[in-house]
Structure 1
Amino acid sequence: MQDKGYIKSIMERFRQGQASPAEKKILLHYLETDQDEEHMELFAEMMADLWEGEPAYREETAETEAAFAEILQEIPKDKKRKPVRIVQQWYYAAAAVLVFSVVSSWFYFQKPEKAMQTTSIAWSSKTTLDGQKVKIRLSDSSIIYLAGGSTLRWPDQFVKGQKREVILTGEAFFEVKRDTSSPFIVHSGQVSTQVLGTSFNIYAYPKDKNQMISVRSGKVRVSRNGTHQSKKLADLTAGMRLTYEQQTMDFVVEKGQDPASFNSWIENRLSFRNANLGEITKKLSRYYNIHFDIKGSCKFDNYRINASFDNQPIGKIMEQLAMMSGGKLSYRINDENSITLWRKECP
């Protein structure tokens, strides 16, 4: 089954009218294939709001009705389930609304101006564990380096003259093959990054405060996804970085950054600029598959650190961080996957 949190986020964006065509394809595939108990309970969690907000009119065609009927036949009607947050007898009615909504949207977004497209393209997905990095080559010869704790979804084939769309959760560095007739678009939560051919890094973990788009070469356009249309935030060129605050939707653009540092993590070269300890331990956790246990009542966020670590083991990094804190930071390496942090003056 696909990642539960990711599918739930797509359902929510679909309910708000913000899901991209690529995300609608993934959601339709999920509804067609994953029919286990956990899936049905997740499905139910999203239904109450959707039921209230469903529009009175929706395009109905022979294709959508046939696909709708086929999917409904696969939904088990006698399976016992744990209690969920909506009334039992509304469960399948509400589920039907979402299925029909997605099926209708699928055919709508596949329909060109004069004729319906019937060919669908399969999608692939790769999820990395913390401490893992993988290299992915797409059908257009673009290269993507996926960082730890991340997920990338992409179509197995791109269609010449149409957009090349992929979906990222986490961090990745992109080396995009230039094709002026087929813009390359990375969807990462609220933000989309569009290019023709260039290299850039996207840091977009959903639970982190900020997203960051950093350009090593070429030019990209960063936009915020909207209900009806996207809003351009900025055009970035080499050495520029956009930081997007995911709660407030504010953003800042920095110039004159070192482009070589944007993908240094691929070679285990980590660079931190004015970063607090929380940000540093979060990245170290993903890059080294380390769990940090912070003890005591003192907060570490007031420590700002500028440091670079070139392919160093985690023990050496912790030693240097302790020295940079002026001896205020103490640590203990419990095992290869666990480190405890504390300040001596704090209980």
Structure 2
Amino acid sequence: MEEQKYKHFKCNDFVLDDDFREWLNGQAPEKNHLWESWLLANPAGRIEAEKAKTVIYALQIKGKKPETTDIDQQWKRLETSMATVKPLTAESKEITYGRIFTVLKWMAAASIVLAVIFATDRYLLSGRQHTALAPVEQRSDNGQQRDIILPDGTRVKLNAGSVVSYPAQFADNLREVTLTGEAFFQVVSMKNAPFIIHTGKVTTKVLGTSFNVRAYPETDDVQVAVVEGTVKVSAEISSLKQKNSVCLTKREMATFEKNRQALTISPYDEAEQIGWKDGVLHLEKSDFASTIIKLERWYGVKININKDLKPDPTWRFSGSFQNKPLGYILNVMRYPNRFSYSIQSDIVNIQ
């Protein structure tokens, strides 16, 4: 999917686009998360895409291949026929042939709308389309965590600064979500409907298990740590133009290194990977810049670094902090006299 290509698309453009129609008809399920993300980020494009969806369904009823003249005619009929025709009023005493013709026009327009609605419902029920054009988005801002229950009963704990999006209703044979940030999943087991999480170039596939996914945009790695069950992790390796996959079991973690384009398996430290869901902020040999980002996200503050402060590249910070105030952690970090700081509401100045 060429995202820039669709930036200025109108209704007609979407209807005539082979890729859009293929996805809409359920023939390209691998592109679901791409279209979901694009429509979510482009509200104007989503409106035009919704119009195109209506027109495509109307043309499918007629069994016609989309053409520009058909699109214009179909959309105008759907958009204006109801508005331009005045229905008979109670004050009318006489029914003329002209009014009978008007009623017939009104009924014809209404039948088109009903046919489109019927076709849409039938299309959704058939299971061919398993995502809506406007997916549900749940967001957890910096300084907070959220507990979410998905349509299938899957429980998601969303860490600070994270977003998860998913269809309002999953299909019978597939469950897909898109994650930016970090979340702990407890997936309801459904043997005939795999649960798939898209995080950039990494895809995580399960049937029913519990695991943690960490995929913040600013970090160099994407990590998937399994607590229970079995998980398949696939990563798109750009240089090979193919996907590399690994299967994980309990207490195993897959790490996709973005810079090296490498996917590896290793054991993991439970406190470091999933301690956050129990209110524990864990630092493990974290450099200064990475630690500042973690503190901003965890406490929901903005940290300003004085330009005269030159952090030593060798500084590393480790420790587990549960329910500790920000000042406590900053005092640990600055020992002995590395820097000073001040806190004013949600603004922190370090100098």
* TM-score interval for Structure 1 and Structure 2 normalised by the shorter chain: 0.5 to 0.7
SS of residue paired to 2:232: strand
Other-structure match for 1:148? 160
* Matched residue SS, 1:152: strand
Q: Is the deviation greater in 193-202 or in 246-255? A: 246-255
1:185, CA displacement in angstroms? 0.7
Matched, 1:262 2:273: yes
Structure 1 residue 209, shift from structure 2 partner: 2.0
Unaligned runs of 5+ in 1: 1-6, 41-60, 75-106, 343-347
Where does residue 23 of structure 1 map in the other structure? 34
Out of 216, 223, 248, the residue aligned to residue 260 of structure 2 is 248
Q: Is contact 2:237-2:262 (8 Å) kept?
A: no
The answer as to 2:343 corresponding to 1:339 is no
Q: Show CA shifts across 1:169-193 (max 9, x none).
A: 1111111111221111100011011
* Percent of aligned pairs with the same amino acid: 25
Residue 190 of structure 2 is matched in structure 1 by 179
Q: Is the 8 A contact 1:221 1:232 kept in 2?
A: no
| Distance across 1 between alignment mates of 2:340 and 2:248 | 40
Contact kept, 8 Å, 1:238 with 1:259, in 2: the verdict is no
User: Contact conserved, 1:216 with 1:262, CA < 8 A, in 2?
Assistant: no
For 2:340, what is the secondary structure of its paired residue?
A: strand
Q: Which residue of 2 aligns with 1:35?
A: 44
Q: Which of the residues 223, 231, 234 maps onto 1:220?
A: 231
In 2, distance between residues paired with 1:335 and 1:164? 44
Contact 1:198 1:217 in 2 (8 A): yes
Aligned pairs for 1:108-257 within 5 A: 117=128, 121=132, 123-160=135-172, 162-225=173-236, 231-255=243-267, 257=268
Aligned match for 1:311, one of 323, 326, 351:
323
Equivalent position SS for 1:263: helix
In 1, the alpha carbon distance for the partners of 2:192 and 2:331 equals: 51
Q: Tell me how many residue pairs correspond in the alignment.
A: 270
Shift of 1:232: 3.1
CA distance, structure 1, for counterparts of residue 348 and residue 44 of structure 2: 40
Change (3 A) 1:289 1:69: farther
Q: Match for 2:249: what amino acid? A: T
Which one has a bigger Cα radius of gyration?
Answer: 2
Q: Partner of 1:90 in structure 2?
A: none
Structure number with higher helix proportion: 2
Residue 65 of structure 1: aligned partner: 66
Q: CA offset at residue 221 of structure 1?
A: 1.1
